[in-house]
A and B are shown apart, each in its own frame.
Chain A
Amino acid sequence: MFRSAPRASGYFRTDYAQDLALIQTRAERWSLAVFAAALALFPFVASPFALDLASQVFLVSIGALSLMLLTGYAGQISLGHAGLIAAGAFTTGILAREVGAPFWITLPASAITGALLGFVFGLPSLRLRGLYLAVSTLALYFIVIYLGGEYETKRGFSTGIVVDPPILFGIKLTDGRAWYFVLLVAATLNLLICMNLLRSRSGRAWRALHARETVAAALGINVARYKLLAFIISSSMTSVAGSLFAYYRGFVSIEAFDLFLSIQYVAMIIIGGMGSLLGALLGAAFVTLLPYAIEALLHLLPNVQRLADDIFAVDYSAFGVVMLLFLLLEPLGLVGIWRRIQNYFLLWPFKYRPLAGADK
């Protein structure tokens, strides 16, 4: 399913189980093991700052994966992602504060809220496409934010809602390392869910919808049902991310969910490379780490303190510049770069693929 052509080494799949397996070669098994070990050991060697960055990347990647599912695979543009995260965070905040609900109630509640909201966000998609759909999600985002602001004011949380750390299996989650592992598990689970969805009937239906809607309908795919499904599942996952965000930051406030956040997520999937889950992960990591990379770069310049204010404005514009560079120079995104690197090593010392043969 993932690889339409056999690999260059001559590895052939001989039954369906082999075809469906996620890990197919020994090399893949080994590299996965090494990667998993690296991830597991990371918290014990990294500084708390790096740990926080890594945790942030995991948290953000949940949202990025769900947006990739919706926009990259099912082809429905959504600019209201921040609204869904806000919905999940506010559900958690409200339940935790008003009713004192514990973690294992607020998380599913956020998922359900996300699903309902996803249904609402998805309704316009039945009539609209492309630009108009994007605009409708934008409008719904503003409405969600308005409702959140109203709640904050009417209930007296003018500086935001404080959320206590969740209690998971009797342990209060305050340690950076504990959060790292929780978020790593959450992100991995999300990745597995996305991969399985894509390998199954819904994934195929979404791909068909994205390619040519009328043909998909002619093939017997219930277009409306799968469009709504895409929205519901994606929004549900995003709201869960929002809920985790509320717990991780210990705080919910409407100002944290501005339009720029939506744009960042869309930037993630485009910079990462549309139509690829790996792209979502790479994009999430890139966009989260970019501001810090820029600051590091700027600190290398001499006489930095003199331009104190200017650095921050440069930081901000640099995000725009990098996005533009990616859009102009590398439309396939980071995944495109990754594939090129892969191909380079695959073919080395040769430079070009043979014209005839198994490789495509």
Chain B
Amino acid sequence: MLKRTVLAAVAGVAIAAPAAAQDADAYVVGITAAMTGPPASTYAPAVDALRIYIDSVNAAGGVNGKHIKLVIEDDGAQPSKAAANTKKLIAEDNVILMVDASLSSTYAPVIAETKTANVPLLFASGVCPPSVLPPAAPLEFCTTGYASHYDSQATLDFVKATAKGPVKIGFSAMAIPLSRGEMDHAIELSKKMGLTPVDEEVIPPPTADYTPFATKLKDADPNWVYSWAPWVTQVRTLEALRKLGWQDDYIAWGHLEAEAELARLKDDKFYTVNSNALFQEKLPIQQEIEAAAKSAGSKYPAQTMTEGWIGGMAIASALKGAGWPTDRGKLRSAMESLTIDTKGLRGGPIVWTKDNHFRTTLYYRFYRWDGDKIVRVQDWKTYPVN
């Protein structure tokens, strides 16, 4: 009897069509994100931050007098699910803007769907695809802080400037194509810049012990090590190297965990290269984020929210520029000449042009731990995007 009721309940619900609530009086924005699955720790906090930002905008009256309605769908970092989510969001929820906050393997199907429906697509917190760089694909935009090739350029410039004497540099990557590709590029760059690459370690994600990799790296005797990979690889390589007694300088990309980790590790030769300002700067916008996160009761710390907040700012700015009533085409043209004021979270505004949906200028800051607090080692350095 129990069996039958359980099965009947499940069947009944499966047949019941989901009610598509069409809100004619609000902007509808769809998000497909990796809220579950192994990479969720990178994307879930960003989406949460985005949601909190949009909620605060709505609480203050919305944009152009209208509220923004976010419809968030989980794709678990699976391309099939991301494609299905996108189809549903476009067809049933009638979204005016799509956001993809998930692994890069979900990009192509989502791009294909939004292209067919002419819906602008924003990448927030996931790596920016090459198609947002000039000449940009008309419908794709990106606010994510990290960028292939430019990050390595900035980092190696910093290493060269900071190092005292000749540099022997080691590299650490995670065994995913993106990180490996970037490290290979960095190796080529370093040779051109007069640095000596000594070793590259490519570490598979599910590794029980990083010590064997660190041993090989240490034995190559670098005096600098650079890692551009998901945070877990970066930090565990560092910890393993330190454990082995390697005392030199280590630099890695400042993901959203960076601030908490700098404080945890207390390593004064660990540098992070960031495009987002850290909360130790105590900017007014950061205090605003902290307050909002607290009152929303988010389970993620405020320091991890910058990327998502910036994504939210982009959405709000874009919708404001599009006006009311608006459609997908108007929104797209609004986004094609948009300047997003990040209020200090980035080194400057994010500027989108018709050809460049990435940003016209990249800003990098460098931080490290110094004794008892995080200090900024180098202020915003600009790199133009050509």
Contact = CB atoms under 8 A, between A and B. Distances in A.
Query: Do chains A and B directly touch (beta carbons under 8 Å) in the complex?
Result: yes
Contacts of B91: 47-49
A330 B178 CA distance: 44
Contacts, number: 120
A292 B80 CA distance: 13
A158 B128 CA distance: 12
A48 B91 CA distance: 6
Interface string B29-61: 000000111000000100010010000000000
B283 interface: no
B374 interface: no
B181 A158 contact: yes
Contact of B108 (A47, A251, A291): A251
Contacts of A162: 108
B175 A313 contact: no
B105 interface: yes
B358 interface: no
B84 A56 contact: yes
A258 to B, nearest CB: 8
B14 A255 contact: no
Given A256-B78, A313-B36, A330-B3, A297 B13 contact: yes
A291 B81 contact: yes
Contacts of A329: 3, 6
Contact of A52 (B35, B51, B87): B87
Contact of A322 (B10, B83, B109): B10
B80 A153 contact: no
Contacts of A49: 84, 87-88, 91-92
Interface in A242-263: 249-251, 253-256
Contact of B92 (A47, A174, A251): A47
Given A49-B91, A256-B79, A291-B81, A308 B105 contact: no
Contacts of B27: none
Contact of B107 (A149, A159, A297, A311): A159
B79 A249 contact: yes
Nearest to A300: B13
Contact of A251 (B37, B79, B84): B79
Interface stretch (B69-77, B230-238, B305-313, B341-349): B69-77
21 contacts: A49-B84, A56-B80, A149-B175, A149-B177, A158-B176, A159-B104, A159-B177, A160-B104, A160-B107, A249-B83, A250-B108, A251-B107, A255-B103, A256-B79, A256-B80, A289-B14, A290-B14, A293-B13, A296-B13, A300-B13, A316-B37
Interface of A: 47-49, 52-53, 56, 149, 152-153, 156-160, 162, 174, 249-251, 253-256, 289-293, 295-297, 299-300, 308-309, 311-313, 315-316, 322, 325, 329-330, 337
Given A149-B176, A251-B112, A255-B176, 11 more contacts: A156-B181, A160-B104, A160-B177, A249-B108, A251-B109, A253-B105, A256-B105, A293-B14, A312-B74, A325-B6, A329-B6
